[in-house]
């Protein structure tokens, strides 16, 4: 079943990124863009999954998109205004879901709110809104050590959204999860995407099934070689538009027509990366 949608302005631009670390080529002329997806009657953000084998450069790409690292050349540009990314402008949810262990969950969110420049009253209101939004209101006085892994993850997302942002990066959110928890994370990502039409979520993962379940676009990172076979770095060697394939925004995507075929195609390409 194909959903009606429209592509509008560009929200994220990766422009000719090149990166070398310790004389080892990591990324080579990597370019891509994400456009605003609108759907009638829906508040719909964008979800892009970045897939690639271990060591291909996924984490380094995430660092460039977050502003935590800088490319040797090329730019990461945010919004139709094409503003260069800077540290703090982008939300990042790391695998460890870092929170202040000596502070309650509410206090963690208030710290993030103050760093975002909110007043005391604004910070409190925003924190309470986020706790309710992610089903954590009963844990406001709890310390991170008492939370489950899923609760910590939701708390980490809420922490990053204390200040509205246009780009949220999630590093391996499905790593080490059983199928039930993986479905929960997919629901969380889709829920977060529905909070803001111009929010783009980039999920870095090696889990093909989870990527197909959560994303509307899938980027495959693969190595680029010159005529002699020497690796020049990694770039996006293939992009899957899951919207056009009718494989976006379905709650039971694994049962949708075309899912198995697309998964096999991704797996086949993955083996060549």
Q: What is the pLDDT of residues 190-229, one digit of tens each?
A: 888 888 889 999 999 988 988 999 999 999 999 999 889 8
Structure tokens at 160: 């990053």
Domain ranges of the chain: 6-90+165-270, 99-164
Bridge partner list, 205: 51
Q: Is the pLDDT of residue 126 over 80?
A: yes
**2: closest CA among 197, 246, 254?**
246
Specify the residue for token string 């050349």: 73
The number of beta carbons lying within 10 Å of the beta carbon of residue 17 is: 26
Report residue 2's pLDDT band, with 50, 70 and 90 as the boundaries.
low
* pLDDT digit string, tens, across residues 137-175: 999 999 999 998 888 888 888 888 888 788 999 998 887
CATH number of 6-90+165-270: 3.40.50.300
* pLDDT digit string, tens, across residues 230-266: 889 999 999 999 999 999 988 788 888 899 999 999 9
Cβ–Cβ under 8 Å, residues 56 and 273: yes
Cβ–Cβ under 8 Å, residues 172 and 206: yes
**Nearest-10 crossing angle of helices 149-160, 179-193:** 20
Structure tokens at 198: 């111009």
Rounded CA Rg of the chain: 19
């Amino acid at each position: 079943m194909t959903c009606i949608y429209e592509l509008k302005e560009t929200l994220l631009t990766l422009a000719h990124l090149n990166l070398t670390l310790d004389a080892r080529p990591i990324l080579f002329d990597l370019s891509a863009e994400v456009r605003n997806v609108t759907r009638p009657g829906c508040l719909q953000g964008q979800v892009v999954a970045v897939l690639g084998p271990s060591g291909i450069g996924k984490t380094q790409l995430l660092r460039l998109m977050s502003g935590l690292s800088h490319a040797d050349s090329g730019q990461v540009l945010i919004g139709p205004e094409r503003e260069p990314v800077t540290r703090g402008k982008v939300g990042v949810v790391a695998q460890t879901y870092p929170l202040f262990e000596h502070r309650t969950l509410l206090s963690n969110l208030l710290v993030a709110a103050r760093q975002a420049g909110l007043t005391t009253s604004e910070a409190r209101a925003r924190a309470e809104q986020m706790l309710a939004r992610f089903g954590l209101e009963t844990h406001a006085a709890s310390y991170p050590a008492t939370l489950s892994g899923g609760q910590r993850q939701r708390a980490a997302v809420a922490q990053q959204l204390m200040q509205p942002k246009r780009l949220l990066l999630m590093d391996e959110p499905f790593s080490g999860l059983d199928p039930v928890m993986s479905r929960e994370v997919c629901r969380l990502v889709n829920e977060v995407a529905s909070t803001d039409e111009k929010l783009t979520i980039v999920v870095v993962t090696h889990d093909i099934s989870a990527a197909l379940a959560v994303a509307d676009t899938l980027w495959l990172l693969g190595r680029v070689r010159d005529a002699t076979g020497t690796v020049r770095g990694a770039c996006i060697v293939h992009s899957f538009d899951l919207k056009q394939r009718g494989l976006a925004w379905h709650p039971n995507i694994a049962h949708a027509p075309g899912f198995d075929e697309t998964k096999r195609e991704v797996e086949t390409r993955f083996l060549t990366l």
